[in-house]
Structure 1
């Protein structure tokens, strides 16, 4: 399970120190605090008193949150009285920071939003960077992950406009964490590396240490354990330069993750005991949930499932209490595994359901879309930079040509004045030089055309990559969630029948058998669709067109689905037209079977389904029509898009993935036809597709 490096605010405290001119102090604070308290009593300039309050609040933030808030509130009150906008915004920022450190992230957000209003009014871009970064981190705790990501991107844009690099590290780290949440570890690794490059350039030791830890987590997920250990050791080397309790806790948690992963549980337990001791000295205990999580993983690895269940329940309850949902899905998954270890399959299934609900609650599809938009914007910026560079090169070339022309003209006039005798020799040299310039110009022109061709290919590759990413995301989503569910049901029911003999003779026996049948059927149908879909993607499917009567396909599929239709009292009628088409029989049979299955699935009891065909010039239009629940325009728009999720339950709670329609579209196109749908909510649906008529 990935773990976000929850150090963004520690990093931002260093960033904020750069903004307000207050050094970040982690040791020997007392003499400095005493000196500042004395200065308050002697200072007469109100703005300087505000600055001293802010400095005191900053020094207290890691050792006494109550004192930190108290001095920040004094700075806020005095700033408002004297209309000192900078002091007012800075005080609100510090109050927000301390609230977050104490776990009160909702008031932290409120204070940050007020600070943003002030810094926007004063056009203080540096302070706005810090505010938007912190606001993004705070929103990432809750349900609105897309809003959090947008705040991070906004901070990045301000960094680039202000030509400031230090904030980019935090942005890249947080973008990496979203890819980490989506289990896209290679993309996550790439952005953590970008963050590390920024921190190396700026000399930010704190961030370098934390990014070493983040890279280690990614490498563990990529099963590169030795490289992960190297990253952790690099973080350990930097720890003395950081000199704060929270940094040591994060490094220790990283070693715990490593030793649990490689199975060295005795060493892992030693580090767990160490981190518990460190966290007890940390006020508030902000790493308690992480410690519960690692203890749970430790006991899960030792197969002490009861202890694992107890600790994961603590992690879940505390996360919900603090309204931090970003890793709730992972905790439920681990809890499910612990219940399964005790053969408590019903509880394991319930935890899997909660894990999926928690995962969907954070709207992963919207996160994917937001990241896709971000990547597209980045590519667009790179394209604009290339165009600007090309314009600069063209301008430089023009200036060079103009300079050469003037030089030649001057040389010619001088030559004429000095000596007419050298005219012939000069003309010969000039002609030779012009030939060289022509060769150079042709070379530059060819390079320009090559660059333009490469830019077009790059844009095409980008579009193909987006499509491939969407296809891959859909495939992994189906395997991770939809394909797993039927087998969980089969295992749970079969285990119940195997261990509970009285269940075989109970009134629920038929219900259980029907449940096993539907789960097996659903799993088989999904697996069959996945296999067909994978063949279309790899180009291994054979296309063997032949002439045949469409009526034959109708009859086969009517007989195949007759019993299923009877369970709902549905009648199936076939068109009397017996037209011959020229197409691949197996593909057309799959298309009709899939559309007929969907018609049954979304028809009400005692419904009616019609299989129709009509000629249209050189094509045959095949229609599967039902009078079921119908579809909204929004649903119709996304039906045949692999990147969109259009899953919904049938009228008898039948499950589906939407992959069947994607395959239908692929097969219709292979056979030279088109597929479309007409539908209204409550009025049923009519799926149409066209096939070439046979010439014989």
Structure 2
């Protein structure tokens, strides 16, 4: 295979690799584009499965994370944990520790949903520690968002809003337009939890405005929370408006999850308005969707709501108890605290109505266990309220009073907390206004000072203009002087090169041409006389002189180009073995004539990017020099790859050099050239050229020598892009 073909195949390989890489990028971009327009969870899971094998590892991490998010929405927490763990493992394999920090936040969020708050805190601490190394990372949005969820779960309302606001500020800073609307929505949810419904609606409307502007696919979530908020504010017409828009949009997008939630809130609104038939119709639609989505949590929620409709609207306590029992059984299976609490309250309600205090006591004990586990004030308040009612009904007024006192204490505490929060909010607004007024006054003062400063500045500018003009003249003078000095140095260098050329042409080159001319006349004389033996001898002499003359002219040309800065490096992929074979072949006849063996020693061939002309100049001169001073001996050329370095050596068993010759071996000092074993002459340019071309390729050359023992040149070149030739050939064969 020729060098040109090898290079062509290598280029094809590189193009193929680049195309493959581009394809992985394209697939990832395509997946993201489709994902952003898909709201159906099952469709999204199938989409992720299709693209997973086609994208790069970094994109696979994102797909695994998306799977976890889908299962989280489905409340399939075990599957959500599985996929986030797989994403973390893959992230560690590719050393993407910044994204791992964000994945820890996701996993912490799953522990929050699963009410494992201690584990959630540990994961979020790991997330913070990982992201500390990346203070400018946009993944801080995820961390603050999950800290908001944790604070909310711990009933730390003010802290939850603070974290939500921090997440929003990071998103605005990095212009993460896809997150900003949802963060406004999260802040609204926090305000809703603390019964600041007007502030909640304000943030929900901001989220809706941005989602409509960006064309967000999850806009149905915002319609839903607006419907819930207006329903709580008893603005039923406005609530119905957003709920109906949400239902129509969900049907259009096949978004069964949010459609289910809309049917639930619509049913509750109709129950509040005592439209029990319509409420029952909508909760049945919600129950069908919950079963279709296989969401046990929402199946239990629908059954509980259906029981309430029969309990409040139709006073069918038997059927209500049947639905409450089904909801309670599901809650015990899925072990989600919020679902279990609501089911226990429903069971207490029906059994209080039946006056079955034995069952009431059992359910109260179960609610107490839940309260001790969650430690949430709202849950504790509900337990005390029902315990008070139980002890009143069973005649234990002392305990009833205790629970009544505890109930009111928590109620007052929550009210005080709400008041404190509102006061803190007012103080915040007041301080903001105060700061705005201070800024206005400071700006006014600043403008006045700027006007005074402007007048002074005008005067200064006139003086400065004059100074700049004088300085400009001085700079022009200095630059002109430096330019003239540089030109003078270049001219001196050019003259030095010219003088050296003339010296070589006048002395060394003329010295080699004159014997050449004389040998031609002597050869003609012996041919005329028929002296064939002498003719052959003279022909060999002429051949040897012509080779020396050719080498001298090559060196002279290359040296001149390098001195004049005219030599341009053109790196190309070279086989080191092939180049040495080519160079050695040019010396075979001379080596035979001098009875000297030239041996190439290597373990594996190496491919390197190198200027071919420079490679030949370096090693032709080194081998030629070795042959010039070696007769009846050996020349050994050795090369190998040492990590990312090509290591070469050229050694001979020739006459060697003195210490003084070694000191000036790479210079052009006069009188340093010496005659070869058969009278060969040189210009002294060869080793100087070698040294210069080695430096051009960021290489290193060293020489060691002893008289009558020989000389050794050691060279090394960086080959960071080199590959083993066997591997290259294997790639070529696959590409071919």
Fold equivalence (TM over 0.5): no
TM-score for the superposition, normalised by structure 2: 0.43
Which structure: larger Rg? 2
TM-score for the superposition, normalised by structure 1: 0.45
